[in-house]
Amino acid sequence: MPRLLDTNSRTDELAHALAQLIGEDGLEAPSSRRVAARVGLSIGTLAHHYESRTRLLRVLSFRIGLALLDEITPEIRTIGAAAMLRTDDEGRLLTRAWLGAVELGRSSEDVGYSVADIIQRERSCLIGASDHLVRDPVTLEALHALVHGLRAATCRKVDPLDVETAREILGSGMREAQRTASAAALPAASRRAVTIASGSSAE
């Protein structure tokens, strides 16, 4: 018999079900009926609490992104940007589901807003991983695109890229971005030092 939905405790369970289904069947989001069946809910109960498939997918995409961030954030402090490429089974399942949510966000504006929120948080992770050196929007966009591409490559069903190799590629990209940021900051810092030494307030 289907369970009644307690939205405070079932949303994460539903998000996990969606992640599993995307992991099993690919990037196309499964039907609400399949998501409901996976957690033992009736489609009527699901519809009552989430109103539409679009709203369900928006909420669950956001939860999937948050779950992935929850895995990444503690490790950013110890291993840097490499934490964004998961080696554990649960992390790879969430990564595959997140890639599905990002793809869905390309065609659904509602889901797109949820995806954009998580992407901004991921970019903050990249800033933290660079010791706050890399803040230029173009560089952050390039690094995030690199992360996304490496995630896709490591999650391929056929001939996936080895995660450790992917982490080395990302590390190389991060080091280059940090070198560029440091080089760009140096002339400005030098100008300020000269200004202070000369006693001038003009820069």
- Predicted confidence (pLDDT) per residue in 109-160, tens digit: 988 999 999 999 999 999 999 999 999 999 999 999 999 999 999 988 899 9
CA atoms within 13 Å, Cβ hemisphere of 13: 14
Neighbour count for residue 43 (Cβ, 10 Å): 15
Q: Which class does domain 7-198 fall in?
A: mainly alpha
- Predicted confidence (pLDDT) per residue in 67-118, tens digit: 899 999 999 989 999 999 999 988 888 898 899 889 889 888 988 999 999 9
Measured CA distances, 49 to 67, 108, 111, 174 (Å): 21, 20, 17, 43
Assigned token pair, 168? 């080395």
Can you give the pLDDT at residue 188?
52
